[in-house]
Chains A and B, each alone.
Chain A
Amino acid sequence: MTGLASPPLRTTVNGDGRAAGTTPGASQGRPRPRRTALLPTAALVLGALYCLLPVAWVVVAATKPDNELFSTFTFLPGDGIADNVTDLSAYRDGIYWRWMLNSVFYAGLGAVLSTVVSALAGYALAIYRFRGREAFFNVMLTGVLMPPVILAIPQYLLMAEADLTDSYASVLLPLILSPYGVYLGRIYAEAAIPMELVEAGRMDGAGEWRIFRRIAVPMMAPGLVTIFLFQFVAIWNNFLLPFIMLGDDEKFPMTVGLFTLLKQGASQPSLYTLVITGALLAIAPLIALFLVIQRFWSLDLLSGAVKS
């Protein structure tokens, strides 16, 4: 996406052990004063608390029974979490879990396909010198800048022509190609794969495909994980496209489902408790994923090349 500022990547790939920041002695390069700077630490912690505030609130609010949501103090927990989850699961025969599964499906499959496409294209752009290489890359990059809305309406109309609206494919297909992902793929391939290795593979008689599979893919692995995560989050968070494409709420992803629930809540406030419980259950998996994954995957890798 941002071919203009690629240099950070190499250092991040090598330096992510250091980036964890907790390993003692890992930052040999710099002098390390031991005195704590109180004010800056306070500012940083304050920022962290601000970011945790709504999450903390939703955890508390999801424990409140219907009648307490608007009556007891915001951060006073109730004891209705089990009931709320049961109510949510019972709502329209468990359609909430259907939305959750749909989101997992869209984001999971979409991100896998996207990673494959990005890896292939990124590898080609990084390793081969061929006619049209830069043109292809630049055209692709302008695609990033294209506002989703200018795409969404004609995408919907074209899908309607193909009789594909209101189908899983209508949400899945347009999101497979991520110009972002292709850009990342190129950067990672350039950083991780030495040309000599590719040449050596050719000398040994390996085909181009085999070289890609056996040499390039393993070397690009950390980058590919990053592309996967990036796309997973992007599709998981997507609202506009499924909102436009889908009419049948059995196919809704989480975001659109919760939105419709919230909209109904305007006339039926008892649904608000379900919305809140649903919101908590919807963000829990991604937060858990990031907490788990950060042990062996560095956040910096995401930003090392992704500037959005």
Chain B
Amino acid sequence: MTQPPKGARRSYGAEAAPYAHPSPTTTLTRARSAQYLFPSPTTTLTRARSAPYLFLLPAAVLFALFFALPIGYALWLSFHKVEIKGLGLGKGAKSEVWAGLENYTSALTDSELAASALRVLGYGAIVVPVMLGLALFFALLLDSERVRARSFARLAIFLPYAVPGVIAAVLWGFLYLPDVSPFHFLLGKLGLPEPDLMDGGPLYLAMSNIAIWGGTGFNMIVIYTALRSLPAEVYEAATLDGCSELQIALRIKIPMVVPSLVLTFFFSIIATLQVFNEPMTLKPLTNGIPSTWSPLMKVYNDAFTGGNIHAASATAVVLALATFVLSFALLRISNRRTTQGAGR
């Protein structure tokens, strides 16, 4: 600490060493060469060597501050707890002590968390297949020359992407209210029972609908782009062989866009497990949504309503790990399927 000049210079050298190996002379030339019109090859090289690190610097600093540091801190918090001494009054009465796996065991045995995880799994089981199925279906339709109104439909289906999740939930939330809902209106006219769309079983459909509405367009564009990039010769050959459009779609197009499907699948799962905005927004409109409906709401609730940041951090870590494990497991399964399919 008390030897700044020497220490500072050494650390600078150590930092520069791995990539630039600058001898004092090249550093000097580099500094001067800026004014020279014809720099020597060596100085250009030196400059080019440090340049990528300078270009990456802003991203690296931001990553360290807003990704690495918070993740590390969350991990640290998850292994600590607050210990209160005596009556817990005054400064120093509360201290953070090592908690081992305590927070994790209580997170994993928490019935509220388990319930919310189950809810979200059920929700995901509706959202992911329906959303991606529709996205693929619409992408194939967009890619078919015989279908009309394509540019209109492409834009219309993509439109929800520009609508924030909170606002999407507001719009649909009102459309679910019995006094406003056209569904209730229709059911009433037909003399059918009018279920409460924001409670019990229908709530899953209502919630899924918002996610499907919001996500289909983007995934459709992703798949559609992959379809557009396939070489036209393949289709020509298939058409000459007398394949129908449906056969081309099923036998050629879908297998060829499998990589895009796998990726959209992967990211849809991650997004689904982290659902927060929509249930949070629907909550004021109904009594059917508890404040721990999704795991993320549970984390939020623990941290900011319950004030237990240590438990919340452990839950968040568990959630992150579960997301990774689940999405990678599903990715592997789908990969194995595809390779098997290709082998046949």
Contact = CB atoms under 8 A, between A and B. Distances in A.
Interface of A: 1-2, 4-5, 7-8, 11-12, 15, 18-22, 27, 29-33, 35-37, 40-41, 43-45, 47-55, 57-58, 61, 69-71, 73-75, 116-118, 120-121, 123-125, 127-128, 130-131, 133, 136, 139-140, 143, 145-151, 153-155, 157-158, 173-174, 176-177, 179, 182, 202, 205, 207-209, 212, 233, 236-240, 244, 254-256, 258-259, 262-263, 265-266, 272, 275-276, 279, 282-283, 286-287, 289-291, 294, 299-300, 302-304, 306-308
A267 B171 CA distance: 19
Contacts of A212: 55
Contact of B221 (A75, A233, A299): A299
B98 interface: no
Given A40-B144, A55-B159, A150 B180 contact: no
Contacts of A236: 164
Contacts of B162: 233, 283, 286-287, 289-290
B69 interface: yes
Nearest to B213: A51
A175 B181 CA distance: 37
A158 B142 CA distance: 47
A18 B228 CA distance: 9
A289 to B, nearest CB: 8
B170 A279 contact: yes
A136 B48 CA distance: 18
Nearest to B44: A202
Contacts of B327: 145
B235 A30 contact: yes
B59 A140 contact: yes
Contacts of B280: 239, 259
Nearest to A28: B232
B235 to A, nearest CB: 6
Interface in B20-73: 34, 36-39, 44, 47-49, 51-53, 55-56, 58-60, 62-63, 65-67, 69-71, 73
Interface string B286-322: 0000000000100110011000010011001101100
Contacts of A53: 175
A124 B51 contact: yes
A1 B166 CA distance: 25
Interface stretch (B122-130, B190-198, B258-266): B258-266
B340 interface: no
Given A22-B151, A31-B239, A124-B53, 5 more contacts: A12-B229, A18-B228, A75-B182, A136-B60, A307-B222
A300 B180 contact: no
Contact of B317 (A22, A150, A275, A306): A150
A147 B162 CA distance: 22
A207 B34 contact: yes
Given A158-B70, A173-B66, A286-B163, A40 B218 contact: no
Given A153-B74, A283-B162, A143 B63 contact: yes
B153 interface: yes
A299 B158 contact: yes
B226 interface: yes
B172 interface: yes
Nearest to B60: A136
A15 to B, nearest CB: 6
**Chief secondary structure at chain A's binding surface:** helix
A51 B157 contact: yes
A33 B170 CA distance: 43
A265 to B, nearest CB: 7
B52 A133 contact: yes
A282 B171 CA distance: 12
B66 A177 contact: yes
A33 B145 CA distance: 7
Nearest to B182: A74
Contacts of B342: none
Nearest 10 pairs of A and B residues by beta carbon: A29-B232, A124-B55, A48-B156, A177-B62, A154-B70, A128-B52, A121-B59, A208-B51, A237-B164, A54-B171
A140 B66 CA distance: 12
A70 B179 contact: yes
A51 B160 contact: yes
Contacts of B55: 120-121, 123-124, 128, 212
Given A237-B164, A258-B167, A54 B52 contact: no
11 contacts: A41-B148, A74-B175, A127-B52, A128-B48, A154-B71, A208-B48, A262-B170, A265-B284, A266-B285, A290-B158, A308-B267
B141 interface: yes
A149 B319 contact: yes
A177 B317 contact: no
B18 interface: yes
Contacts of B67: 143, 146, 151, 177
A306 B299 CA distance: 29
A12 B230 CA distance: 11
Given A44-B149, A146-B67, A149-B319, A51 B217 contact: yes
A275 B281 CA distance: 12
A43 to B, nearest CB: 6
Given A70-B179, A145-B324, A307-B222, A239 B144 contact: no
Contacts of B66: 151, 155, 173-174, 176-177
